[in-house]
Amino acid sequence: MYKISKQREWIYTYMLEHPGQHFSAEDIFAGLNEMGKTVSLATVYRNLKILQNEHRIGSLMLTSGKQVFDQTCRPHDHLICTHCHRVYDVDMTYDRSLERKAENQLQLPIESHSLILYGICADCLKER
Amino acid sequence: MYKISKQREWIYTYMLEHPGQHFSAEDIFAGLNEMGKTVSLATVYRNLKILQNEHRIGSLMLTSGKQVFDQTCRPHDHLICTHCHRVYDVDMTYDRSLERKAENQLQLPIESHSLILYGICADCLKER
DNA sequence: ATAAATGCAAACCTTTTGCACCCTA
DNA sequence: TAGGGTGCAAAAGGTTTGCATTTAT
């Protein structure tokens, strides 16, 4: 179905090579072009959507309404720093039993959940 | 500082009169105009922002990137139905101790959190 | 050869803003 | 009567789409 295009591989590789970061389409567009790998913004958007459909990457909608993409689509929580506004992946706190607990409390089937923690990240904490 | 304008009261009252619902600016714009209360969309947006700054209402960014507004800004969770995509307020599951638990696990100060549960709402469950 | 992918520009959607006019304290 | 507030239309973001061209299989 899909062909292997160099642009799609650039985009995916770019994400894997920056672990822990969360990118907007614009970030990836700018990052690749700086490396001399010319891609159009439309292609970045199209491929991010394809990679997501293939479950190779995940995404997150920020309260600003901007979408950012994640290297992985494995279930995990996020920490958003209230100082620098960076987004971090957090595996340690991820707790599937929240869903069972909610099911019991609400008496409704719960399939998944999304938890965002707001606090101060390690970097910002160090700087003070 | 702020003056009482009839438009602002219409908007706020409209939200209070539809408890449990979550509105986009467009929803409120359309709803009020249907009632013969003419408001411009720009005024709806401006006033929703003001009401939010005054902590009279809350808001939530959906994964679609659309912002919806909530009658209250008291901390609570949300249930999003994976069938009808309606958004529900959920107080029963809200658990501030998640923040203390995360603080211990991450060793970082956590100020707040946001939990969205994805499942089947009571209405959709009934229909099957 | 042909189905898929790309680049470009135009279109879209939601939200914000500038400005002239209006209204409320 | 002054400083908010409103409506309108234009602008601003971010994302998607149409179309002609290029590329992988």
Given a cut of 80, whether residue B9 has pLDDT beyond it is yes
Same domain for A55 and A86, yes or no, is no
Domain boundary among the residues B70, B87, B104 is at B70
Report pLDDT digits (tens) over B25-38: 999 999 999 999 99
Same domain for A33 and A87, yes or no, is no
Same domain for B14 and B65, yes or no, is yes
Q: Mutate which of B114, B121, B127 to disrupt the A interface (most A C-beta within 10 Å)? A: B114
The greatest distance separating any two alpha carbons of chain B, rounded to the nearest whole angstrom, comes to 55
Contacts of A65 in chain B (CB under 8 A): 61, 65, 67
Domain boundary among the residues A23, A38, A70 is at A70
Average pLDDT (B5-33) is 97
Distances (CA, A) of B68 to A22, B26, B28, B51, B64: 24, 10, 10, 13, 11
Report pLDDT digits (tens) over A68-117: 999 999 999 999 999 999 999 999 999 999 999 999 999 999 999 999 99
Average pLDDT (B109-127) is 97
The token pair that represents A94 in the structure block: 């991820």
Q: Is residue A66's beta carbon less than 7 angstroms from any atom in nucleic acid strand D?
A: yes
Q: B113 vs A112: CB contact, 8 Å cut-off?
A: no
Same domain for B106 and B66, yes or no, is no
pLDDT for residue B123 = 97
Given a cut of 90, whether residue A1 has pLDDT beyond it is no
pLDDT for residue B1 = 74
The Cα of A95 is separated from the nearest Cα of chain B by a number of Å equal to: 10
pLDDT for residue B128 = 78
B101 inside domain: yes
Answer yes or no: are the C-beta atoms of A103 and A86 closer than 8 Å.
no
Q: Is residue B65's beta carbon less than 7 angstroms from any atom in nucleic acid strand D?
A: yes
Same domain for A13 and A64, yes or no, is yes
pLDDT for residue A128 = 77
Contacts of B119 in chain A (CB under 8 A): 102-103, 106, 108-111
Range(s) of the domain holding residue A119: 77-127
Report pLDDT digits (tens) over A10-53: 999 999 999 999 999 999 999 999 999 999 999 999 999 999 99
Annotated ligand binding at A76? The verdict is no
Please give the protein residue whose CA is closest to the C1' of the nucleotide C9.
A42
CATH code of the domain covering residue A110:
3.30.1490.190
Could you tell me the pTM of the whole model?
0.93
With cut-offs at 50, 70 and 90, classify the pLDDT of residue A66. Answer: very high
Which distant-in-sequence residues (6+ apart) come within 8 Å of B51 by Cβ?
A: B8, B11, B12, B57
With cut-offs at 50, 70 and 90, classify the pLDDT of residue B83. Answer: very high
Report pLDDT digits (tens) over A3-19: 889 999 999 999 999 99
Same domain for A54 and A82, yes or no, is no
Contacts of A115 in chain B (CB under 8 A): 98, 113-115
Coil vs helix vs strand at B37: coil
Locate the chain B residue with the closest alpha carbon to A63. Answer: B61
Say how many domains are in chain A.
2
Same domain for A82 and A114, yes or no, is yes
pLDDT for residue A2 = 86
Given a cut of 90, whether residue B2 has pLDDT beyond it is no
Same domain for A18 and A59, yes or no, is yes
